[in-house]
Homo-oligomer: A and B are copies of this chain.
């Protein structure tokens, strides 16, 4: 029952946002919760552990981050639609679009980029209104 309740709660909150046209969402930046989903492809996959233990935690410590989940590719079935080629992911929850914008210029985020950007060859981001 808990699981079902959580599901309904999540869907209700998410759907309310999802059905708003983008322009309406923009006007309501303070209340638009979002996921900032980042994938890193490193130059050297042997750097994965160092990147996870030293670099990535800096992102989770940025002030406006609501929840922070680092990850690595899950060993699920190989299928054409599944991309397992990346090395490290960060799933960041923000309470508003403004909080995500503030995160982009958080001193710790900027320090992370300065110190560690040489370790990745590609970064890909999906910003998800929920």
Q: A residues touching B (Cβ–Cβ < 8 Å)?
A: 3, 6-7, 10-11, 14-15, 17-19, 22, 25-26, 32, 34-37, 39, 48-49, 52-53, 57, 60-61, 65-77, 79, 81-84, 86, 88-89, 91, 97, 100-101, 104, 123-130
Contact = CB atoms under 8 A, between A and B. Distances in A.
Q: From DSSP, what is the main secondary structure of chain A's interface residues?
A: mixed
18 contacts: A7-B60, A7-B67, A10-B60, A10-B68, A11-B57, A14-B70, A18-B72, A19-B52, A22-B72, A25-B75, A35-B91, A36-B76, A72-B128, A74-B127, A76-B100, A81-B124, A83-B125, A91-B128
Contacts of A91: 35, 37, 91, 128, 130
Contacts of A83: 124-126
